[in-house]
Amino acid sequence: MAGHSHSHDNIDWDEHLQRLRAADEFNAPEIEELVDKLLNPGDRTVIEIGAGAGGTAAAFAAALSGADAELTIVDTAEQLLAAAGERAAEAAGETGADIAVHTVRADAADDALAGEITKAGATSRADLVYAAFVVHHLPDQLAGLRRLADLVRPGGRLAIVEFGLQTKVLPADIGIGEPGLEARLIAAREESFQQMRSDMEGCVRLPMGWNRALAEAGLADARSWSYLVDRPAPLDEAGHTAVLRRLELFRRHADERVSAEDLATLDALLDPSNEHYAGTREDLYYLSANTVHVATKPR
């Protein structure tokens, strides 16, 4: 097995493959709806930056059609890229779509991005360039947007997805510890995120909203909308698994950022032997809002 590679935020994304697969399955209805909304009639070429586990790539592969249709998936994480390519090819085969699927190991923070895509035999100018939860991991986000904009053909679109509202999964009072645990965990997670960005080599601030940043990148007619991932209580098994993923994320960033009491409460929620274990509680839910920002390359 090839060695793993770390991204600019020092995360080994290959290690997260199974977690990302579970998230793809959980979010599949929203992903399919988003892909349908983003694709315009006549679109033949899509470049996805950031492979994840391939859920969105599979949705694009199933939605594209035509002998000249082409999907290119770009990532730095070798195993994620391979998994996404396989899922996209399987989805195209299941629908009978006659499309070309390319996988390109390249970095959106590298000026050689377009050249690496061309070198792989794929088109480096697409009708739609899509990047979900990618740009905030780049040291210079505006420079990254400009590279992505360079991949868009005149008249095409760049679509990025970034966090809208923080995901909520817990009641205000869970019956142990002090009420308001989730708000404190969210604050700790936000602090950790800001620390992650400041620790990046070559980090540059982006002191503007995404609509202005897209305009600065040379794109026009920026528009935004948000979509919900809404799973009310009581949750099924997939919902409980998603809640546990969320709480485990909090736990990775909680040390030294929340009180010992809050840590103990969080550990109780993650302990299958505890009566308050989040994997079996019937009062948990999953509510998240992600925001899509789309802008057009002038002709």
Give the pLDDT band of residue 68 (cuts 50, 70, 90): confident
| DSSP-derived pairing of the beta strands 70-75 and 286-296 | unpaired
Contact by Cβ (8 Å): 43, 64: yes
Spatial CB neighbours of 157, under 8 Å, sequence gap ≥ 6: 38, 40, 127, 128, 129, 294, 295, 296, 297
Residues 179, 262: Cα–Cα separation, whole Å: 10
Q: Is residue 105 part of a domain?
A: yes
Residue 6 lies in a domain: no
286 domain residue, yes or no:
yes
Question: How many domains does one find in the chain?
Answer: 1
- State the sign of the Cα–Cα–Cα–Cα dihedral 117, 119, 120, 122: positive
Percent of residues, the chain, with pLDDT higher than 90: 85
Please list, in sequence order, all residues whose beta carbon lies within 8 angstroms of the beta carbon of residue 3, skipping any fewer than 6 positions away: none
| Residue 114 domain-assigned (yes or no) | yes
pLDDT digits (tens, 9 = 90+) for 237-295: 999 999 999 999 999 989 889 999 999 999 999 999 999 999 999 999 999 999 999 99
Single out the residue of 188, 158, 180, 204 nearest to residue 255, CA to CA.
188
Per-residue pLDDT tens digits for 7-47: 554 555 556 788 899 999 999 999 999 999 999 999 999 99
Which CATH number goes with the domain that contains 113?
3.40.50.150
Under the banding of pLDDT at 50, 70 and 90, the label for residue 6 is very low
Q: Give the C-alpha separation, 64 to 45, whole Å.
A: 8
Per-residue confidence (pLDDT) for residue 245, from 0 to 100: 95
The DSSP secondary structure of 111-171, one letter per residue, reads TTHHHHHHHTTS-SSEEEEEEES-GGGSSBHHHHHHHHHHTEEEEEEEEEEEEEEEEE-S-
Q: Does residue 3 belong to any structural domain of this protein?
A: no
- 255 by Cβ neighbours in 10 Å (0-12 / 13-18 / 19+) ranks as exposed
In a domain, 188, yes or no: yes
- Given the DSSP bridges, would you call strands 286-296 and 220-231 parallel, antiparallel or unpaired? antiparallel
pLDDT in tens, 171-221: 999 999 999 999 999 999 999 989 989 999 999 999 999 999 999 999 999
Q: Could you tell me if residue 7 is inside a domain?
A: no
Residue 227 confidence (pLDDT) above 50: yes
pLDDT for position 2: 39
Domain, as residue range, for 33: 13-296
Is residue 40 situated within a structural domain? yes
**Res 12: pLDDT:** 58
**pTM of the model as a whole:** 0.92
Q: What is the pLDDT of residue 133?
A: 95
